[in-house]
């Protein structure tokens, strides 16, 4: 497959956005409009986990009106990891794909910051993470408790796994398509927000070029957060499992992850 051109970051040519949704009816239409305004040549896959509020039905109506939008319907809510595994596998099968962006549907990941991630993919990175915790990143409006839990989770994972990456729990990511195809999603098992840590760890193990770019992570515009104590506990346990299980069978062939 040809290497992505500079149009990846400029107009979104060859870019697919993976957008998991569950009860995001209020956010979906404005979010899609904002993303496609930034990247008019991009495509979006909405991965809806049977939202009872009608998010999936709205996604279908929007897709009928705009050929850049596709919809994957899943029967029920099975976790973020399962949604991403299904959606990313579908996107990787698309012949026009050069880069894949993961982002939330609640505007906590700003559509006008997507290009900053894609520019680094264009420059050769395998994985780019929109980071709250590098210089220039921020979390305005967060309570002290939420900052403590989020920063603490990333710090715990970073220390246990021996990584330099500052924001391991963040879900705003851009992948170079060919690298993600080689990495695959079948080797992952986390089913909550730990999926984000696990995929970054697996990419590091495979020798990916990983970069972080600062982002402003804002409170969701509408709807309620999916975060819970159970999700945090699952992620912590998963980090320990990653640390002590054998590494991937594929030998690393790339330079080590960037700090």
What band does 244 get if pLDDT is binned at 50, 70 and 90?
confident
Q: Answer with the residue of higher pLDDT: 64 or 244.
A: 64
Distances, alpha carbon 160 to alpha carbons 9, 65, 238, in Å: 34, 47, 11
Mean pLDDT of 204-223: 86
| φ, ψ (nearest 5 deg) of residue 182 | -70, -40
> DSSP string of 201-231?
HHHHHTT--EEEEE-B----SSS-----HHH
The answer to whether residue 1 scores a pLDDT higher than 90 is no
Fold for domain 8-244? Spore Coat Polysaccharide Biosynthesis Protein SpsA; Chain A (3.90.550)
Q: Answer with the residue of higher pLDDT: 65 or 253.
A: 65
The owner of tokens 């069978």 is: 249
The owner of tokens 């991965």 is: 47
214 touches 135 (CB < 8 A): yes
What band does 228 get if pLDDT is binned at 50, 70 and 90?
very low
Mean pLDDT of 81-94: 95
Q: Answer with the residue of higher pLDDT: 157 or 114.
A: 114
Give the residue from 76, 82, 72 showing the smallest Cα distance to 16: 72
Q: Answer with the residue of higher pLDDT: 216 or 152.
A: 216
100 touches 12 (CB < 8 A): no
N-term to C-term CA, the chain: 28
What's this model's pTM, rounded to 2 decimal places? 0.86
**Rg of the chain, C-alpha, whole Å:** 17
Report pLDDT for 230: 53
What is the per-residue pLDDT across 129-188, written as a single tens digit (0 to 9) for each? 999 999 999 999 888 888 888 888 888 888 999 999 999 988 999 999 999 999 998 877
Beta bridge partners of 175: 100, 127
User: Residue 245: is it exposed, middle or buried by C-beta count within 10 angstroms (0-12/13-18/19+)?
Assistant: exposed
Question: Which sequence spans correspond to the domains of the chain?
Answer: 8-244
Report pLDDT for 18: 98
Work out the mean pLDDT of the chain and round it to a whole number.
87
Mean pLDDT of 44-60: 97
The answer to whether residue 62 scores a pLDDT higher than 80 is yes
What is the per-residue pLDDT across 182-211, written as a single tens digit (0 to 9) for each? 999 887 777 777 889 999 999 999 999 999
Q: Which of 7-11, 21-25, 204-208, 235-239 has the lowest mean pLDDT?
A: 235-239
């Amino acid at each position: 497959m040809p290497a992505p051109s500079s149009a990846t970051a400029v107009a979104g040519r060859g870019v697919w956005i993976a957008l998991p949704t569950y009860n995001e009816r209020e956010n979906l239409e404005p979010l899609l409009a904002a993303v496609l305004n930034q990247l008019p040549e991009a495509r979006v896959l909405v991965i809806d986990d049977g939202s009872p509020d009608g998010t999936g039905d709205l996604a279908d109506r929007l897709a009928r009106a705009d050929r850049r939008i596709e919809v994957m319907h899943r029967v029920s809510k099975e976790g973020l990891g399962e949604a991403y595994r299904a959606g990313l596998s579908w996107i990787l099968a698309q012949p026009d794909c050069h880069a894949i962006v993961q982002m939330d549907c609640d505007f906590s990941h700003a559509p006008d910051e997507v290009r900053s991630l894609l520019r680094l993919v264009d420059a050769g990175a395998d994985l780019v993470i929109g980071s709250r915790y590098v210089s220039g990143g921020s979390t305005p409006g967060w309570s002290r408790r939420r900052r403590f839990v989020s920063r603490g989770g990333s710090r715990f994972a970073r220390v246990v796994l021996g990584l330099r990456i500052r924001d391991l729990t963040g879900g705003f990511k851009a992948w170079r398509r060919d690298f993600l195809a080689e990495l695959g999603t079948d080797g992952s098992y986390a089913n909550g927000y730990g999926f984000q840590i696990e995929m970054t760890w697996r990419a590091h193990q495979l020798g990916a070029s990983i970069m972080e770019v600062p982002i402003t992570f804002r409170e969701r515009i509408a709807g309620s957060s999916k975060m819970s104590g159970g999700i945090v506990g699952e992620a912590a346990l998963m980090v320990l499992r990653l640390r002590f299980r054998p590494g991937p069978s594929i030998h690393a062939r790339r330079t080590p992850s960037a700090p």
